[in-house]
Amino acid sequence: MKLIALVAALVSSLAFAQPYPSKPVKMVIPWPPGGGNDILGRMLADALGGPLGQTMVVDNRGGANGLIGAEAVARSPADGYTIMFHSVTTHLINASFYSKIAYDTLGDFSPVSLIGEAAHVLVVTPSFPAKSVKELVAMAKEQPGKISYASFGAGSSSHLSGALFDSMLGVKMVHVPYKGSGPAMTDTMAGHVPLFFSTVAGALGSIKSGKVRPLAVTTGMRSKLLPEVPTMDEAAGIRGYETSVMYGVWAPAKTPEAVVGRLNGEIVKLLRDPKFAQVMEERGLDSVTPGTPGEMETYLKGQLPKWGRMVKESGARGD
């Protein structure tokens, strides 16, 4: 028995001593396939596999506004073999949108690195009568509760963009939540719902093909990818209206510093590579923001109160 125990301990010790990573790494994307979040997450996962010397396995865990995927990662072993590509929703909005969530936004995760920021864009089905935001506002005031808009989930940054639009302009549109950007865009293109607050990444192809028409972006400055599309302020004088999506990578809490350091180092190298950064920007990021885990944590702590205020001002609630 002593010999068996000694052998087991030796095998365990040798396994632990293996350099990270010694097997495939799973990246959880808490959204369905096909949307802007999925596109950017998969690009990062595909590029990260080479430097890490292992296969990156993408696991789409969509549903419940990112809660399902985030909770799964929070409860995973803290060994670096399960990480998450997160957005503003999972770590900044959900904490205020829901009265209670099954994970601690910061306490249940180890920050790895910020990735970048992306704008939203308000798009409409081509046949929609309004040709501008001003015309849309006029229609919405004449027909309260008659015009609907899609989002990629209740409590998402997409939903919040629409709720703030209603709140700041004194209009009332009907929110239609979808389980991800892909289904929302499909129904907008088909005219089942006339408006959609999409990420630029998720809408770019449909805009270029003429399947949807952009009215305005939701950031304070125009998007590099849609330079001809005005901001909300330019389009309708909505001063102070601004929403965007910040992306990053998390690991479960208490993941060893050496593992987090390896992941952070490879991600930062990728994001500082001009060619890769350009590809990410071409897919929807308005800025690429690599940094240390500490810088990511500081950023998130600073942003939580801001998004809490935005959720409160919008009146949006998940329960």
Q: Tell me, what CATH number does 111's domain have?
A: 3.40.190.150
Q: Judge if 266 and 291 occupy the same domain.
A: yes
d(CA 259, CA 164): 40
Q: What is the pLDDT of residues 50-104, one digit of tens each?
A: 999 999 999 999 878 889 999 999 999 999 999 999 888 898 899 888 988 999 9
Q: Judge if 107 and 140 occupy the same domain.
A: no
Residue 2 lies in a domain: no
The residue range of the domain holding 184 is: 119-236
Mean pLDDT within 249-269 = 97
At residue 11, the pLDDT reads 45
- Percent of the chain predicted with pLDDT > 90: 62
Mean pLDDT within 232-241 = 91
d(CA 271, CA 283): 14
Q: Judge if 287 and 306 occupy the same domain.
A: yes
Whether the model clears a pTM of 0.85, i.e. scores above it, the answer is: no
Domain count, the chain: 2
Q: How confident is the model at residue 317 (pLDDT cuts 50, 70, 90)?
A: confident
At residue 173, the pLDDT reads 97
Residue 143 lies in a domain: yes
Q: Judge if 74 and 84 occupy the same domain.
A: yes
Q: Judge if 102 and 133 occupy the same domain.
A: no
Q: Judge if 113 and 123 occupy the same domain.
A: no
232-236, 269-273, 309-313: the lowest-pLDDT one? 309-313
- Mean pLDDT of all residues belonging to the chain: 90
Last residue of a domain, one of 211, 236, 261: 236
Residue 15 lies in a domain: no
Q: What is the pLDDT of residues 280-301, one digit of tens each?
A: 888 878 888 889 999 999 988 9
Supply the CATH number for residue 140's domain.
Answer: 3.40.190.10
